[in-house]
Structures are given as C-alpha cells and as structure tokens.
C-alpha cells in the first residue's frame, strides 16, 4: 500500500494498492491540517481495501467509537453549522448520507438538555445487580437470585450506607439533582417492603427540588406484579422500562428470558392501570433464529401497545455473554439487519417518535447502532446525559460508573464492583475515599 501526502497550496492525500486505482482527497483552507490528514488517510485506506477486496462499505465510514454523536457536538461547539457538519460526516468520515442525517438529527434534539456547566445539575445512577435469570446475550451486572440471592442482604446494607453518604454530600455541597435512574440488573427483582423502603430512602436522601426524572429499569415483565407497580407509582417513579426484547415465546425461551409474551401484555396493562406516566420498551434485532418477519410481528405488537419510548438494540455479542461463547448456536441474519432497523424506524415514526439518543457497540449486528426513540416531551434526560457525558453522574450500587465531568469536558471515572459481594466489601473499606474524591471534584 502506498500513502502520499502533499501540501502545496492545498492538502492532498492519495492512497493506493499496487495495481489498483488511486483514491484521493484534497482541500484548501483547512484549519487543522494534521487532524484532516489523519482522517483522510484513514478513510482512504478503508475505501481502497473495500474496493480491492469487494467489501461492503460501512455505513458508518471510519467512525468506530461507541458515541459518534460526541463528534457532532464537538464540531458544533467549534462553530460548524449543521449543514457543514453533515457535509463533514459524509466527505471526511465517509458516513452514508442516512447515517450522517441521523447523527445530526439526534444531536440537534439533545442540545436543549445540556446544562451550561457539567456540575449543576447532576444525575444519579443506582445499580441493582440482581435478576430473576441471566439472559444469554447479557454482559451487564446481573446475578440470578437463584445462585446469588444469599448476597442480597449484605448488598442492600452496603447500598443503604452509600445512599446515605451520597445524600450527606449532596446537602453539604448544595448539589442539585436532575435525574435519578435505577438500573442493573433488574431493580424490580426486589419486592414488597424491601423495594418500597429502598425507593423511599432514595427519595429522602438523593432528591432535590430540581429532580424532574425518576426512572426504574423494570425490564423483566415477570417481576411487575400489580403490587410492585403500585409501589413504584406511590414512590413517585415517573418512567419505567418493560422490555420484551421480542414478542415470540420461542425466542424468549431460547435466550433465557424466563417470561412469556403474555407477561409483557399483563405488565404493560398494569403499569397503565396504576398510572405510571412513561413506559419504555426495549427490543433486540438479530436474536437467535429471528428473521425480518419475526421483528415485523414484534414491532406490530409494540405499536398496538403504544409505549412512550422505544429503544431498538442491535444484537452485540459481548465477551461476558453466554452467546459469545456459543456462536455455533447463533445464526444472525446480518444481511437483514438494515431492513430490520429500517422497519423499526418506520414503526417509531408511526408512533410519533423521533430518535433522541444513539450509541454503537463492538461486534454489533450488521454494523448498525442502538437507538432510543421518544414521543415529544418523553426523552429520557438520564439516557442523554449518560451517553453524551455533558453532566457529572454519581453512580451508586453494583456496577455503577461515576462520571465526574470538568468544565473542559475532561472526565474522571469511578467504577463500583459488579459482584454484590465485591461491592459490599468495597463500601466497607473504601466509601470514605470515594466520597472524598467526589467532594474534591465539586470543590475545584
């Protein structure tokens, strides 16, 4: 391979393989010549290999990171117009026009959610790392009660200590909390007084006058009895997730979900009945054995329920998932991935939903993306802030990742252990050190 770069009045980059046509790009009046050279060399190498080996072009061009919208926001902050950003995404980074437009549309909608400074207000995450069962595609902090239930008591005792410590810090520093998000795992694996007391403690210690979003990731519908839904409603929870992933019982059984489609309908009806304001539903494209017709049926049934948010994931085979170690059991229809995603976009649009946050993962179906859709006024503040990293988020519980954002947008991360036992040990030994690091960040 030959790569040549020249600067004589304008930047010119040429890339070729022996015996193949030359790929080239050129331009004048370029502000950052070094950065543009790297970008064009990267794009040129990609295009030459695609041409020479008859590879399908990636719709995402040279962008391989998890958060492609961060590039768009950076360009906008630097003074580029939306039109200029769209052009740069296509011509410099090699995105397909549809992907470029998608990024611009998502970023436009997110700007209104960015606080002027990253530490006022803040977000709070609480991780509950327990689930009824562990799905075969899962790599999150999710420990089945059947095998790890004996750790629950110690975990909850440690979590209560961390909640109280963070609450004390919030009051000491006068922090304002915008959103509170309970994830995991499945927080509604907890039931009865255990759940209601935890939610009450969070409201007492963590909430401030500015708190305007309270979400519980109640993803497993079999955990959502009318009693549990009533507890969520009484605690002031405004948004929950009821995640079917698919509306086919055979697939649910295959991936170890432990619930049926009937459970989805029952849980959704119960949530509407008790009056929880916003319901999100997650689906996954490319689950084992599913083709376009399966996804079409799933989307038809979800459209019939009319949730407020729809999150469309494309299957990603992560190292910590059982599917990753059982590839012979998985036949993903990569050639149908784009058609599945297009169908999901159409259904979301028919429900008056627009894309409001987006991220990508390694080894994802068809090189696609994960997209959250929302009806007007129903976007999740926490999801936007967690993904775009424009706001400090203090994370508690198992698997929580604290993100302390400085005014220059540099980031310091603090990770809580995923394992409930490891988390309890860390809280016992290192809670004071964690609180001191957070305190220093907000006082700088």
Q: What would the pLDDT profile of 211-270 be if each residue is shown by its tens digit?
A: 999 999 998 999 999 999 999 999 999 999 999 999 999 999 999 998 999 999 999 999
Residue-wise pLDDT for 69-122, tens only, equals: 999 999 999 999 999 999 999 999 999 999 999 999 999 999 999 999 999 999
Pairing of strands 122-128, 393-397: parallel
Q: pLDDT-derived band of residue 57, with 50, 70 and 90 as boundaries?
A: confident
Strand, coil or helix: 142:
coil
Ramachandran angles phi, psi of 9, nearest 5°: 85, -30
Instruction: For residue 329, name the pLDDT band (cuts at 50, 70, 90).
Output: very low
Rg (CA), the chain: 23
pLDDT digits (tens, 9 = 90+) for 120-137: 999 999 999 999 888 777
Q: Which residue would you say has higher pLDDT here, 282 or 329?
A: 282
pLDDT at 330 over 80: no
- Give pLDDT, residue 32: 86
* Mean pLDDT, rounded, for 291-295: 95
Are the C-beta atoms of 176 and 120 separated by less than 8 Å? yes
Q: Measure the CA–CA gap between 15 and 47, rounded to whole angstroms.
A: 9
Pairs from 51-60 (Cβ < 8 Å, separation ≥ 24):
51/20, 51/21, 51/23, 52/17, 52/20, 57/94, 57/96, 58/94, 58/367, 59/95, 59/96, 59/98, 59/99, 59/338, 59/367, 60/95, 60/96, 60/99, 60/360, 60/367, 60/369
Asked whether 305 and 283 are in contact (CB, 8 A), the reply is no
What pTM was estimated for this model as a whole? 0.94
Q: Among 74, 70, 13, which Cα is nearest to 42's? A: 13
Q: How many CB atoms lie within 10 A of CB 302?
A: 22
CA dihedral 59, 61, 67, 73 (to 10 degrees): -110
CA 389 – CA 68 distance, rounded (Å): 12
Compute the distance between CA of residue 46 and CA of residue 1 in angstroms, rounded to an integer: 12
Residue-level pLDDT at 325: 43
pLDDT, the chain, mean? 93
Which residue matches tokens 């999100």? 280
Q: Which has more pLDDT, 288 or 268?
A: 268
For residue 231, give both structure tokens: 């507890």
d(CA 69, CA 78): 14
386-404 pLDDT, tens per residue? 999 999 999 999 999 999 9
User: Whole-angstrom Cα distance, residue 247 to residue 253?
Assistant: 11
Of 340, 382, 430, 434, the C-alpha closest to 113 is 382
Burial zone of 433 (CB within 10 Å; 0-12 exposed, 13-18 middle, 19+ buried): exposed
Q: Is the peptide bond before 185 cis (omega within 30 degrees of 0)?
A: yes
What pLDDT band is residue 67 in, cutting at 50, 70 and 90? very high
Mean pLDDT score, 186-197: 97
Candidates 89, 154, 50; CA nearest to 421 is 154
Closest CA to 381 of 411, 349, 357, 410: 357
- Return the pLDDT at 29: 77
State the CB neighbour count (10 A cutoff) for residue 218.
28
Cα-flanking dihedrals φ and ψ of residue 298, to 5°?
A: -55, -45
CA distance 442 to 444: 6
Inter-residue contact 17 to 29 (CB < 8 Å): no
Asked whether 26 and 11 are in contact (CB, 8 A), the reply is: yes
């Amino acid at each position: 391979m030959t790569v040549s770069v020249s600067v004589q009045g304008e930047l010119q980059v040429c890339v070729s393989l022996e015996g193949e046509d030359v790929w080239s790009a050129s331009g004048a009046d370029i502000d950052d010549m070094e950065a543009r050279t790297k970008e064009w060399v990267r794009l040129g190498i990609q295009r030459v290999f695609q041409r020479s080996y008859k590879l399908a072009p990636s719709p995402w061009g040279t962008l391989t990171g998890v958060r492609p919208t961060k590039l768009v926001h950076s360009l906008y902050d630097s003074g580029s117009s939306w039109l200029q950003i769209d052009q740069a995404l296509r011509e410099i980074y090699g995105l397909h026009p549809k992907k470029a437009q998608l990024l611009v549309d998502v970023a436009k909608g997110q700007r209104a959610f960015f606080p002027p400074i990253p530490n006022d207000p803040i977000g709070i995450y609480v991780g509950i790392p327990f689930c009824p069962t562990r799905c075969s595609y899962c790599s999150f902090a999710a420990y089945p009660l059947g095998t790890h239930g004996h750790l629950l008591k110690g975990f909850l005792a440690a979590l209560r200590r961390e909640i109280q410590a963070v609450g004390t810090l919030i009051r000491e520093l006068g922090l304002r909390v915008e959103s509170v998000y309970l994830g995991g795992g499945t927080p509604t694996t907890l039931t009865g007084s255990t759940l209601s007391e935890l939610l009450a403690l969070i409201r007492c210690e963590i909430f401030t006058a500015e708190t305007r979003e309270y979400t519980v990731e109640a993803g497993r519908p079999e955990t959502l009895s009318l009693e549990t839904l009533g507890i969520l409603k009484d605690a002031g929870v405004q948004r929950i997730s009821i995640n079917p992933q698919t509306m086919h019982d055979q697939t649910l059984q295959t991936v170890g979900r432990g619930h049926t489609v009937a459970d989805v309908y029952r849980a959704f009806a119960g949530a509407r009945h008790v009056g929880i304001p916003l319901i999100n539903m997650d689906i996954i494209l490319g689950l084992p054995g599913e083709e376009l017709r399966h996804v079409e049926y799933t989307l038809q049934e979800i459209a019939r329920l009319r949730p407020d948010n729809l999150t469309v994931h494309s299957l990603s085979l992560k190292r910590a998932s059982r599917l990753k170690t059982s590839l012979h059991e998985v036949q993903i229809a990569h050639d149908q991935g784009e058609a599945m995603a297009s169908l999901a976009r159409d259904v979301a649009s028919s429900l008056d939903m627009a894309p409001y946050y987006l991220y990508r993962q390694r080894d994802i179906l068809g090189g696609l993306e994960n997209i959250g859709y929302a009806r007007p006024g129903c976007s999740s503040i926490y999801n936007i802030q967690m993904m775009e990293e424009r706001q400090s988020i203090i994370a508690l519980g198992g698997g929580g990742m604290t993100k302390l954002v400085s005014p220059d947008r540099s980031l310091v991360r603090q990770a809580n252990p995923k394992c409930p036992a490891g988390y309890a040990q860390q809280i016992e030994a290192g809670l004071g050190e964690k609180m001191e690091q957070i305190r220093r960040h907000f006082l700088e």
